[in-house]
């Protein structure tokens, strides 16, 4: 990942008849529940500050009502903020006029919705080509591009089918192909896989990760599922009641949950399949001649290190340079779940 693509600063969203007045209440300490019960306003987002790197997958997660879908809809201004700034490549999205915003949505940021959003009266190919036609491309060129992207998402041969003839997973592939066909730099995915069965959902995650290896899009992915966030996210931001609770790379969040809310998210995950040896290694080099990559997960490392004389291995980075070492004891400790009774802010 490289520079910041999207910079969100001091973003607030309050729903109600007088959001400006309600904003002052929020800034003076009125919480979400009190704002609703005593002032009849809903706090959607409260002082969100988030930098989204270019060419990576940034996951925004939280439970229902946390504000995650509200947040992603501010990026392309489907929702107008009560206060704050939204910058994309240094351009102020909130300052764009109608024509500029239309151009931004057509060329810069595509969106994939949870409910697919396909035109039932159009064929699969026509659905994928729709955004290209809106951009002003000719029908012949749009058709050729739609066929290309349908092949990329594994739907070659279904071009002339209608959405009703496809399964839910196939329909979501059409939605993904439609978003990618416009060649937008930013892909906004609002719980795009949440409506799918678990096996199909995993398959769609694989499709997305495989495409990202070649395309290097800036992807903002909304989910309520931690396993999904950990599997696809380069960075994760976690919301609760409209507030940002913690953000960082998945390894850091697992090892250092910010409070009890985050701890409840991470306590039951299979650490062996998620934590990487580079996260818990020591910086010292061991005498072992065996090396393992820093991104190897603990479950795989356990099988390797347990068979080594001396039961330790050196860790190498992507450039094959030794950056540390890890022992069998360290791996076993890393696999152990943190104490359930641990106090907020004191997690290991």
pLDDT digits (tens, 9 = 90+) for 228-264: 999 999 999 999 999 999 999 999 999 899 999 999 8
Mean pLDDT for the stretch of residues 296-317: 93
Tokens 């491309």 correspond to 137
pLDDT of residue 343: 40
The CATH architecture that domain 273-335 belongs to is Alpha-Beta Complex (3.90)
Mean pLDDT for the stretch of residues 117-124: 91
pLDDT of residue 310: 85
Do residues 297 and 274 make contact, with C-beta atoms less than 8 angstroms apart? Answer: yes
338: left (phi over 0), alpha (psi -120 to 50) or beta: beta
Tokens 């903020």 correspond to 81
Q: How confident is the model at residue 195 (pLDDT cuts 50, 70, 90)?
A: confident
pLDDT of residue 306: 93
Q: How confident is the model at residue 268 (pLDDT cuts 50, 70, 90)?
A: confident
Mean pLDDT for the stretch of residues 169-183: 92
Of 340 and 65, the structure prediction assigns the larger pLDDT to 65
Q: Record the tokens describing residue 254, joined without a space.
A: 């697992």
Whether residue 225 is predicted with pLDDT greater than 60 in this model: the reply is yes
Exposure string for 163-173, b = 16+ CB within 10 A, e = fewer: beebeebbbbb
Share of the chain above pLDDT 90, in %: 80
Whether residue 156 is predicted with pLDDT greater than 60 in this model: the reply is yes
pLDDT of residue 120: 92
Whether residue 313 is predicted with pLDDT greater than 60 in this model: the reply is yes
Q: How confident is the model at residue 39 (pLDDT cuts 50, 70, 90)?
A: very high
Mean pLDDT for the stretch of residues 70-81: 96
Chain region(s) in the chain for CATH 3.40.50.300: 52-248
Q: What is the 3-state secondary structure (H, E, C) of the chain?
A: CCCEEEEEEEEEEEECCCHHHHHHHHHCCCCHHHHHHHHCCEEEEEEEEEEEECCCEEEEECCCCCCHHHHHHHHCCCCCCCEEEEEECCEEHHHCCHHHHHHHHHHHEEEECCCCCCCCCCCHHHHHHHHHHHHCCCHHHHHHHHHHHHHHCCCCCCCCCCHHHCCHHHHHHHHHHHHHHCCCCEEEEECCCCCCCHHHHHHHHHHHHHHHHHHCCEEEEEECCHHHHHHHCCEEEEEECCEEEEEECHHHHHHCCCCHHHHHHHCCCCHHHCCEHHHHCECCCCCCCCEEECCCEHHHHHHHHCCCCCCEEEEECCCCCEEEEEEHHHHHHHHCCCCCCCCCCCCC
Q: How confident is the model at residue 2 (pLDDT cuts 50, 70, 90)?
A: low
For domain 52-248, give the fold. Answer: Rossmann fold (3.40.50)
Q: Record the tokens describing residue 12, joined without a space.
A: 């607030």
Tokens 């400790």 correspond to 333
Do residues 313 and 289 make contact, with C-beta atoms less than 8 angstroms apart? Answer: no
pLDDT of residue 114: 73
Whether residue 194 is predicted with pLDDT greater than 60 in this model: the reply is yes
Q: How confident is the model at residue 338 (pLDDT cuts 50, 70, 90)?
A: low
Q: Record the tokens describing residue 290, joined without a space.
A: 């065996």
pLDDT of residue 146: 95
Chain region(s) in the chain for CATH 3.90.1280.20: 273-335
Do residues 283 and 321 make contact, with C-beta atoms less than 8 angstroms apart? Answer: no
Mean pLDDT for the stretch of residues 69-85: 96
Closest C-alpha among 253, 256, 218, 214 to residue 51: 218
Going by their DSSP bridges, the two strands 4-15 and 42-53 should be labelled as antiparallel
Share of the chain above pLDDT 70, in %: 96
pLDDT of residue 344: 40
Model pTM? Answer: 0.88
Of 344 and 235, the structure prediction assigns the larger pLDDT to 235
Three-point CA angle 132, 148, 205, nearest 5°? 95
pLDDT of residue 337: 65
Whether residue 201 is predicted with pLDDT greater than 50 in this model: the reply is yes
pLDDT of residue 287: 87
Q: How far apart are CA 327 and CA 48, in angstroms?
A: 40
pLDDT of residue 196: 84
Query: How many residues are recorded in the chain?
Result: 348
Q: Record the tokens describing residue 258, joined without a space.
A: 């910010």
Mean pLDDT for the stretch of residues 104-112: 93
Using CB atoms within 10 Å of the CB of residue 291, give its burial: 0 to 12 exposed, 13 to 18 middle, 19+ buried: middle
């Amino acid at each position: 990942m490289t520079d910041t693509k999207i910079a969100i600063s001091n973003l607030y969203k309050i729903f109600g008849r007088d959001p400006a007045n309600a904003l002052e209440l929020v800034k003076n300490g009125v919480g979400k529940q009190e704002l609703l019960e005593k002032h009849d306003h809903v706090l959607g987002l409260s002082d969100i500050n988030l930098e989204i790197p270019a060419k990576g997958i940034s996951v925004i997660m939280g439970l229902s009502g946390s504000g995650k879908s509200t947040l992603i809809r501010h990026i392309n201004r489907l929702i107008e903020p009560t206060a704050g700034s939204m910058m994309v490549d240094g351009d102020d999205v909130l300052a764009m006029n109608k024509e500029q915003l239309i151009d931004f949505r057509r060329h810069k940021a595509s969106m994939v919705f949870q409910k697919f959003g396909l035109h039932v009266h159009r064929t699969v190919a026509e659905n994928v080509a729709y955004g290209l036609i809106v951009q002003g491309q000719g029908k012949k060129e749009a058709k050729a591009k739609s066929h290309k992207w349908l092949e990329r998402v594994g739907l070659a041969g279904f071009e002339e089918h209608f959405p009703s003839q496809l399964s839910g997973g196939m329909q979501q592939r059409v939605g993904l192909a439609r978003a990618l066909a416009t060649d937008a730099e930013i892909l906004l995915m609002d719980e795009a896989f949440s409506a799918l069965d678990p096996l199909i959902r995993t398959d769609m995650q694989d499709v997305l990760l495989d495409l990202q290896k070649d395309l290097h899009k800036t992807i903002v992915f909304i989910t309520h599922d931690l396993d999904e966030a950990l599997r696809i996210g380069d960075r994760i931001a976690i919301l609760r009641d409209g507030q940002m609770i913690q953000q960082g790379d998945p390894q850091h969040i697992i090892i250092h949950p910010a409070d009890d809310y985050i701890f409840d998210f991470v306590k039951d995950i299979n650490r062996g399949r998620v934590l990487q040896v580079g996260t818990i290694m020591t910086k010292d080099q061991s005498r072992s001649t065996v090396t393992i990559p820093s991104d190897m997960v603990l479950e795989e490392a356990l099988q390797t290190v347990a068979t080594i004389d001396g039961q330790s291995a050196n860790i190498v980075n992507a450039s094959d340079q030794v950056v540390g070492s890890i022992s069998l004891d360290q791996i076993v400790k890393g696999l152990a779940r943190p104490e359930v009774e641990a106090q907020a802010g004191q997690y290991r």
